Amino acid sequence: MLVTGEGAKIYMNNRIKYSNEPIEARVINDFLPSPEDLSLNEKKTKVTLTLTEKSLDFFKSAAKKHGASYQAMIRRLIDYYVVNQRV
pLDDT in tens, 22-67: 878 787 787 777 776 665 666 788 999 999 999 999 999 999 999 9
Determine the pLDDT at residue 16. Answer: 73
Closest CA to 85 of 38, 44, 32: 32
- Residue 11 within a domain: yes
- Residue 48 within a domain: yes
- Residue 1 within a domain: no
Question: For the chain, how many structural domains are there in total?
Answer: 1
How would residue 9 be classed by pLDDT, with cut points 50, 70 and 90?
low
CA angle at 17 for the pair 16 and 22, rounded to the nearest 5°: 125
- Residue 76 within a domain: yes
Global pTM? 0.51
Q: Which structural domain, as residue segments, surrounds residue 59?
A: 6-83
Q: Torsion angle of alpha carbons 49, 52, 55, 57, nearest 10°?
A: 100
